[in-house]
Structure 1
Amino acid sequence: MSLFQINEEEVRRQQKEIIRELLEEDGQIGSLWKMERMRIECGGKSAQWVREHVCYHPHVVRNQLAFNSGTDWVFKAKEIIRFLDMYFPDLATNWKNKKELGGC
């Protein structure tokens, strides 16, 4: 006989909640990032740099990965992570220059 009764359904519910919170914090599921988080993800680049190299990048615009809320930029975290994985090395040079050369 156990001295403790464990409600397994409640334990599972709490585990799911903790896992969801951790994944959101890590930007892996359905969360949105504001400009400050995006600047951190881009290695501390300025908001101006993020706007020029990320917000107006053709891939970001075409796939609606970022939008201006009127007061700040908001990014779809899950999708923008994939974008950064694909394009970050190329973001050192402004995408506008690459477009003129036939890139993007």
Structure 2
Amino acid sequence: MSLLKIDEEEVRKQQKEIIRELLEEDGLIGSLWKMDRMRIECGGKSAQWVREHICYHPHVIKNKLAFNTGTDWVFKARSIVEFLDIYFPDLAINWKQKGE
């Protein structure tokens, strides 16, 4: 005989919420990042570096992965993660200098 009564539906609900939060933190579901988060993801690079190497990168512009709200930059988390996986090693050299 158990002394505790567990509401299984409530446990499932809480698990789903925790999983959703974890996926958002990792940028794996439809969340948005602001410049501060993007700087962290880029190893602490400056906001100017992020703008020059990422915000104005032809791939980011073409696929609308980032946009300027007038006061801050916002990035589509899931898509920008894919972009960083593909392009980050090449971002050490500004794309404008490569003539792309």
Please tell me the residue identity of whatever aligns with 1:28: L
Residue of structure 2 equivalent to 1:46: 46
Deviations 1:42-93 (A, max 9, x none): 1111111100100010110111100001100000111101100000000011
Give distance in 2, aligned partners of 1:97 and 1:6: 61
Residue of structure 1 equivalent to 2:58: 58
Q: Secondary structure at the match of 1:52?
A: helix
Q: Is residue 95 of structure 1 aligned with residue 80 of structure 2?
A: no
Q: Which runs of 4+ in 1 moved over 6 A?
A: none
Residue of structure 2 equivalent to 1:32: 32
Q: Secondary structure at the match of 1:30?
A: coil
Deviation at 1:20, TM superposition (A): 0.6
Q: TM-score, normalised by structure 2?
A: 0.94
Residue of structure 2 equivalent to 1:79: 79
User: What count of residue pairs does the alignment treat as equivalent?
Assistant: 100
Please tell me the residue identity of whatever aligns with 1:10: E
Deviation at 1:97, TM superposition (A): 2.1
Q: Secondary structure at the match of 2:36?
A: helix
Q: Calculate percent identity across the aligned residue pairs.
A: 80
Q: TM-score, normalised by structure 1?
A: 0.90
Give distance in 2, aligned partners of 1:3 and 1:39: 50
Give distance in 2, aligned partners of 1:17 and 1:53: 35
